[in-house]
Amino acid sequence: MSVVYINSAACISIQDTLNAQFFQNLKSENFTQIVKAIEPNYKEFIPPAMSRRMSKTVKMSSVASHFALKEAGIEKPDAIIVGTGMGCSQDSEKFLKNVLENNEEFLTPTYFIQSTHNTVAGQIALGLQCHAYNFTYVNTSSALEFSFLDAKLQINDGEADNILVGSTDEQTDRTMALYKLNNTIKKDENFPVDYLQSTTDGVIWAEGASFFVLGKNKTEKSYAQLKDIKISSRLDVAETQQFIEDFLAKNDLTNNDIDAVILGFSGDAKSDVYYTETMDLFNDSALLYYKHLSGEFNTASGFSTFMACHILKNQEIPEVMMINTVKKEGIKNILLYNHLGGNDHSLVLLEKA
């Protein structure tokens, strides 16, 4: 299979990740149940008349994709693939609210039309006037990984040269209220959160959008090689190490070949045991975590991929991400491991470009 490169990376998150100096200004979030993304001034990128009709996830994705395409020097990609867990949930809630308040009569179709999960990919294509392959994956926490897999296969099969791949999720008031009721979100008495040694269930919920341009050719701006992806919807804790070792063996690697491992510790004691189990495999690797910087949401792995790209390009690991004290002279291979609540496990292997 031919090499696939990540030639650009852009992210909107609870950090100021659109700022060129974000790497030095990362701040941990330990005290708030729900954290909102730091949004750009949308007027600079989207006409106000259009912006008013867009949900937050569409606006975040439009701007993040703009930055990704600009950095890669691509005007129109050969395909647009977006992964999302919740889709345009703000418009979904507005539509359902209208159904209830109007007794299912005299409904305007706008919210319904814009509530579908593929609205994001469609709006990006409309803005670019791009008529190429356009697809949306809705696979909870592995939606981005499925999108990467699709893009990788298309590039390897010669069907595309440059593909825009992204992930996005937004918050909605009703869903957040339900998440508090079912204890998905941590209770007030469980703060501040110790992500690595948590003894309580639940997470800090956030939102964000991450976009990348994958290409078959290496460029001066290339961040990484996308080597391989593995996804499993269900996994027992006892199977974790074998799951990872099989993946490494498939790529002719051993544990010692991995310079850094980025784990999705979320502060949820019940599901973080998978990551604790993983750490025992990598005594000689730099162990990192990231959800204290991004919060938890369906496609939070987009943030970890974004960070991994910058770590490989800069050959530098932010201190705020480090679990142990291992520091390699050079960072060549990074393994990303993520799941959401113990389901939909994904492994992504990145190599220095």
Q: What is the pLDDT of residues 120-170, one digit of tens each?
A: 999 999 999 999 999 999 999 999 999 999 999 999 999 999 999 999 999
The 10s digit of each residue's pLDDT in 268-318 is: 999 999 999 999 999 999 999 999 999 999 999 999 999 999 999 999 999
Residue 93 — pLDDT band, cuts 50, 70, 90?
Answer: confident
Going from the N-terminus, what domains does the chain have, and what CATH number goes with each?
Answer: 5-215 (3.40.47.10), 224-352 (3.40.47.10)
The 10s digit of each residue's pLDDT in 14-27 is: 999 999 999 989 99
**Average pLDDT, stretch 52-81?**
96
- Map residue 209 onto helix, strand or coil: strand
State the sign of the Cα–Cα–Cα–Cα dihedral 19, 185, 341, 92: negative
Two tokens, residue 196: 């690595």
Q: How far is CA 349 from CA 74, 127, 147, 270, in A?
A: 25, 32, 15, 26
pLDDT at 108: 76
> What is this structure's pTM?
0.95
Which of 186, 206, 207 has the alpha carbon at shortest distance from 195? 186
What pairs with residue 287 in β-bridges?
A: 261
DSSP state of 186: P
Residue 1 — pLDDT band, cuts 50, 70, 90?
Answer: low
**pLDDT of 58 higher than 70:** yes
**pLDDT of 114 higher than 80:** no
Tell me the H-state helices in 129-172. 143-156
